[in-house]
Amino acid sequence: MKYINENSNRGIVNLFADFLIKEINKTINYDSVIEVTDCGKFFVVNGMTTSDKILDIIKVRESFVETYKSLMTKFGYETVNIIDLIMYNRDLTKKTEYTFDFYHSSRPLYHRNLILDIVENPQPKFNSVFYNRRLEYELDYSEDDTTNLEYYTYAPLNISSEFPHGYSLGMGRQELYYSEYISNQLLDVLLTDKLTFKYSSIKVDDDNQIDINANTVFPKKDIISMTLDVFDFDMLVFNDMIKDYDIMEDITKPFDNKPWLIRDKIKDLILF
């Protein structure tokens, strides 16, 4: 997963996308997908939601600017114009399968080298970092010091939010969290540094049609069978476990403890 730097233009649009999701879901968890695009001093807000309650986008903007005042001031967004294109009371089609990569680290969404670089050797002006056998930085266009970077690109003129930011739990976010919950426990058992987990809500004979790929000595079919035996894939129970989690912390506190990063099933994960 790409690490989004909170203190950047990309950080702001992703924060605002999640802020809008929280506003829509203040009382009920609606299915929503929101995309925010920074077009240079004005934001285009696009998306759909099952909610029929129209947001007062001016009030939401003012609340967001006040909440993140220092960040918005730093980037010159004390006053930002918004084009609101959100469509309400719409039926959203949910995906049945998602595929994610996870790493053996304190936060499996991110490779340990990425976490180490961000914590101990942060680049001054960057938007995001992605690990693909190397650290790939997206830099702010004003950044000239690239001495310590193996690979980098510069940010485009228009920057948009991206998954999972701006996505409600029911539109793939809960599947991401649940997949990380499982993988966080599997990685130790499989004795591997990385695994690719395909979440599936499709069932055959009451078994979710998941897939797990990892460089390990254990047979793939045994890994999948064990996972299906130990984890129930009950999203209602899982959502109750994470109900108090603030999705804004996906960006503001990405490396902090998360309620789903527990190892409550590891004693039951046994392979021979």
pLDDT digits (tens, 9 = 90+) for 54-77: 999 999 999 999 999 999 999 988
Residue numbers of the domain that contains 28:
3-87
The percentage of the chain sitting over the pLDDT mark of 90, rounded to a whole number, equals 88
pLDDT bin (cut points 50, 70, 90) of residue 262 is very high
Q: Tell me if 80 is assigned to some domain.
A: yes
pTM for the full predicted model: 0.95
**Strand 126-131 versus strand 97-103 pairing type:** unpaired
Q: Is pLDDT at 125 greater than 80 in this prediction? A: yes
| pLDDT score of 194 | 97
Least confident range from 73-77, 80-84, 100-104, 144-148: namely 144-148
Q: Is pLDDT at 49 greater than 90 in this prediction? A: yes
Q: Tell me if 254 is assigned to some domain.
A: no
Please give the Cα distance from 83 to 77 (Å, whole number). Answer: 15
pLDDT bin (cut points 50, 70, 90) of residue 145 is confident
| pLDDT score of 12 | 97
Q: Tell me if 197 is assigned to some domain.
A: no
| pLDDT score of 91 | 96
The percentage of the chain sitting over the pLDDT mark of 70, rounded to a whole number, equals 100
The CATH code of the domain that includes 29 is: 3.30.300.10
Output the DSSP codes for the chain: -PEEPSSSHHHHHHHHHHHHHHHHTSSS---EEEEEEE-SSEEEEEEEES------HHHHHHHHHHHTHHHHHHTT-SS-EEEEEEE-S---PPPSEEEEEEESSSSTTS-HHHHHHHHHS--SSEEEEEESSSEEEEE-TT----TT-SEEEE--SSEE--TTTTB-GGGTHHHHHHHHHHHHHHHHHHT-SEEEEEEE--EETTEE--EEEES-SS-HHHHHHHHHHH----HHHHHHHTTT--TTHHHHSTTS--TT---SSGGG----
Q: Tell me if 209 is assigned to some domain.
A: no
pLDDT bin (cut points 50, 70, 90) of residue 144 is confident
Q: Is pLDDT at 159 greater than 80 in this prediction? A: yes
pLDDT bin (cut points 50, 70, 90) of residue 268 is very high
Q: Tell me if 110 is assigned to some domain.
A: no
| pLDDT score of 106 | 95
Q: What is the mean pLDDT of residues 213-219?
A: 95
What value does the mean pLDDT of the chain take? Answer: 95
Q: Is pLDDT at 239 greater than 80 in this prediction? A: yes
Q: Is the peptide bond before 108 cis (omega within 30 degrees of 0)?
A: no
Structural domains counted in the chain: 1
Q: Tell me if 97 is assigned to some domain.
A: no
Q: Is pLDDT at 121 greater than 90 in this prediction? A: no
